[in-house]
Amino acid sequence: MRGMMVVSLIVLSLFAAQLVRIQGFDSEAVAADALAQRTQTEAIPAHRGTIYDANNTVLAQSQERRTVVIDQTAVTEYEKKVAGTRTKVGVEGAAKDLAAILGESARELEPKLTGTQRYRIVAKNISPLTWRRINALGIPGVYSERSSQRTYPQSTTVASLVGFVQPQDQTAGGGLELQFDDILKGTPGQATYEIAQDGSRLPNASDDVSSATSGKDIRLTIDNDIQWYAQNALANQVKKTQALSGTIVVQRVDTGELVALASYPTFDPNNLGDGKGVYSNLAFSDVFEPGSTSKIMTVAAGLEEGNITPSTPMILPGSMERGNRVLKDSHPHPDEYRTVAGALAESSNTGAMLIGETMTPKTMEEYLRKFGLGSTSGSGFPGESAGLLPKSETWSGSQRATITYGQGISTTAVQVTNVFQAIANGGVRISPTFVKEISDGEGGWDPAPAGKRTKTVSKKSADQVARMLEGVVSDEGTAPEAKIEGYRVAGKTGTADRYDPKVGGYSGKTASFIGFAPADDPQLVVSVILQRPIKGYYGGTVAAPVFKDVMTYALQKEKVPPTPQDQKAPKVKTKLSKRPAADTPGLLMDHGSPGAG
């Protein structure tokens, strides 16, 4: 008996000691553990910054959403008043009530509510208003988690520039969304609150909330109206000509700001599920040989070096042999007698070769790099290509010749548009930009850095090229269809052989027209480039009309006044009445290959 009492006392002492430890020494840990069992932590998504166009049109925005989650074991206890009497309606009643709000059938919803799962997602991307209606039902075990949904009100119009976020987790996937993700995404918060046994939130319990910090907004230089017009004009022309793809770039002359960046085919950022479309902006990523649009760099370089003038006489052969290759002019012809201005207006390949041969390959390369070829624009856009400009010491004899008229080098649409911006801007190239300002998080805006300025040629040389480019748009040039009523227009056509890496050689053409207006006071540059058009492929016939439409709309939208009627385009001599004598000062003619290759 005494032994049993001793044992009992020892057991009781152990219990007492344990009780003392729990209530005293370990009370905080035990309380924390108990609290953890009756609390729930919910992430508070940061509101992703809004992307606006230059006029505050919303291009991308995030909206608060809710994910509806249930504890299937608690839904069975659902009660509500039926004919004035509190009645247990369980899963069947919950399915009917939820279906009416979610727009689903009760039959499809009931299996989601039935079972033993403590966590089951019932609906995603529910608006806060819809969630409040669901929560008011008072169904046990039904609660929500905060989420957000990125929407793109302009849909396909500016998709290839703005980019997208992944629908499953709202992480940046491409375009400006990816490039400026650190600025846009913000910092998530966290909320911890007590819950009842049925999983519902206790209304009077204390909450621990760490608020989310919203991302910053971005305002672009893009004009959504001009972007919409360009995107639709491009899509229509790609379909009409059965082209593989196309781009339209609109750039301001005096700032380098991009006003529109149309790319087709494109995609719908609000519906990525089908996986269809092209997700990159081809104006930055698509690399091609520019062809005749690059001849303006050859002419500008020759003028700047003092080797030619617009009136320099030329004898243009129908072909020239360089580097063991016979290189043909843009069209078959016997010897023609033109000035430099005439060679440019008629887009002569042999004329470009003769001008290029007045300079060393190294000099030619230096000018091409000043104009931005061989390097990215500095915009930082994801997937941007630098194009291809080999070092001059690697040029073969034939490549030295073809580079003067835009074959044997590769550019992007943004790069070649920037070349024309430089000519229109008095020889000063301004790197393209598309961000105007970024919100400071306190209601104000911080201006984005301006584009880098690079002097390519003197204002005199640039102005001479600009005057010659007006001849391209004349009835004697290659692009009369680019003329705009009331405005002086300067520009250049391009029709180049298109290299296709899929076939390992040339296949189809690249058709283009790039120009600026008003030529007497340049405000905007517009480039139209079509890849592998089938129904027509000359730049003057398939690209120039689209340039006219887009430039006309942009000038009107920007309220650019027409050219005064008394300011006519200056006459530039383009044709010679007879063959120049061999000793004519400055005469350019074919004297044979300057070097083997």
pLDDT per position as a tens digit, 129-144: 999 999 999 999 898 8
Percent of the chain at pLDDT > 70 equals 90
Q: How far apart are CA 221 and CA 195, in angstroms?
A: 49
Which range (140-144, 214-218, 434-438, 512-516) has the least confidence? 140-144
In this model, does residue 461 exceed pLDDT 60? yes
**Which one, of 297, 263, 296, 299, lies nearest residue 279 by Cα?**
263
Q: How far apart are CA 340 and CA 528, in angstroms?
A: 25
Contacts of 232 (CB under 8 A, 6+ apart): none
Contacts of 409 (CB under 8 A, 6+ apart): 289, 290, 294, 368, 373, 387, 388, 389, 390, 403
Residue found by looking up tokens 């519902």 in the block: 200
Return the pLDDT at 212. Answer: 79
Per residue in 382-406, pLDDT (tens digit) is: 999 999 999 999 999 999 999 999 9
Q: How far apart are CA 17 and CA 318, in angstroms?
A: 109
499 beta partners: 506
Q: What is the mean pLDDT of residues 69-85?
A: 90
Q: What is the mean pLDDT of residues 499-511?
A: 89
Return the pLDDT at 78. Answer: 92
Both tokens of residue 521? 């006071």
In this model, does residue 196 exceed pLDDT 70? no
Using a 10 angstrom Cβ sphere, with 0-12 exposed, 13-18 middle and 19 or more buried, the burial of residue 305 is middle
Q: How far is CA 466 from the centre of its chain?
A: 29
In this model, does residue 570 exceed pLDDT 90? no
pLDDT category of residue 552 using cuts at 50, 70 and 90: very high
Per residue in 40-70, pLDDT (tens digit) is: 677 777 889 999 999 999 999 998 888 999 9
Q: How far apart are CA 504 and CA 336, in angstroms?
A: 35
437, 446 Cβ separation under 8 angstroms = yes
In this model, does residue 166 exceed pLDDT 70? yes
Which range (22-26, 223-227, 342-346) has the least confidence? 22-26
Q: How far apart are CA 551 and CA 535, in angstroms?
A: 23
Q: What is the mean pLDDT of residues 576-588?
A: 95
Which range (76-80, 248-252, 383-387, 520-524) has the least confidence? 76-80
- Residues written for the chain: 597
Return the pLDDT at 29. Answer: 62
Q: What is the mean pLDDT of residues 309-314?
A: 97
Residue 12 or residue 514, greater confidence: 514
Return the pLDDT at 594. Answer: 74
Return the pLDDT at 595. Answer: 53
Q: What stretches of 142-200 adopt beta strand conformation (E)? A: 142-151, 164-165, 172-174, 189-194
181, 33 Cβ separation under 8 angstroms = no
Q: How far is CA 156 from CA 59, 149, 222, 264, 348, in A?
A: 10, 18, 15, 10, 39
Return the pLDDT at 596. Answer: 44
Sheet of 39-44: strands edge to edge? Answer: 39-44, 189-194, 208-210
514, 472 Cβ separation under 8 angstroms = no
In this model, does residue 277 exceed pLDDT 50? yes
Return the pLDDT at 195. Answer: 67
Q: What is the mean pLDDT of residues 88-111?
A: 92
Return the pLDDT at 138. Answer: 92
Return the pLDDT at 497. Answer: 92
In this model, does residue 150 exceed pLDDT 60? yes
Residue 291 or residue 26, greater confidence: 291
Return the pLDDT at 259. Answer: 98
Both tokens of residue 204? 């009077």
Return the pLDDT at 238. Answer: 98
CB atoms within 10 A of CB 39: 16
Residue 53: what are its φ and ψ, rounded to 5°? -85, -175
Percent of the chain at pLDDT > 90 equals 75
Q: What is the mean pLDDT of residues 80-92?
A: 90
Both tokens of residue 288? 């091609």
Given the candidates 1.10.3720.10, 3.30.2310.20, 3.40.50.1100, 3.40.710.10, the CATH classification of the domain at 224-557 is 3.40.710.10
pLDDT category of residue 597 using cuts at 50, 70 and 90: very low
In this model, does residue 335 exceed pLDDT 80? yes
Q: Which of 70-74, 80-84, 168-172, 410-414 has the highest mean pLDDT?
A: 410-414
Which range (213-227, 425-439, 472-486, 544-558) has the least confidence? 472-486
Return the pLDDT at 508. Answer: 94
Both tokens of residue 227? 């972007």
Q: How far apart are CA 120 and CA 342, in angstroms?
A: 75
Average pLDDT, the chain: 90
Contacts of 159 (CB under 8 A, 6+ apart): 152, 175, 266, 267, 268, 269
pLDDT category of residue 255 using cuts at 50, 70 and 90: very high
Q: Which amino acid is at 322?
A: R
Q: What is the mean pLDDT of residues 109-127?
A: 91
